[in-house]
């Protein structure tokens, strides 16, 4: 008889700990969503520039740059647009 009571108590503790862990995991997921926060950060940091030749907007990091003698910087979406642009 004592064995059965002992087993029930162990089972009860196991279920309590398991449900508690699940609650903690749920709270952590809502507080720190892993993938979503990274994506929004990248979107905020990415600055868009306008291609001087065709007018397309491209991320500054992937734009082709051309520095004029006067010192101002022109941005192009591709090497093709950079060659085509006159001015």
Nearest distance, CB of residue 67 and Zn ion, angstroms = 17
Binding-site size for Zn ion (CB under 5 A) equals 5
CA angle 26, 28, 33 (to 5 degrees): 100
Q: Which of 20/57 has CB closer to Zn ion?
A: 57
Q: Which residue has the tokens 């979503």?
A: 36
Of 52-71, which residues contact Zn ion (CB under 5 A)?
53-54
- Give the binding site for Zn ion (CB under 5 A): 51, 53-54, 77, 81
């Amino acid at each position: 008889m004592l064995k059965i009571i002992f087993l029930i108590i162990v089972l009860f503790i196991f279920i309590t700990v398991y449900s508690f862990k699940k609650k903690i995991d749920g709270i952590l997921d809502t507080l720190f969503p892993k993938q979503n926060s990274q994506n929004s950060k990248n979107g905020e940091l990415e600055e868009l520039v306008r291609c001087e030749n065709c007018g397309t907007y491209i991320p500054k990091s992937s734009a082709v740059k051309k520095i004029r003698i006067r010192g101002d910087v022109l941005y192009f979406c591709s090497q093709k647009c950079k060659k085509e642009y006159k001015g």
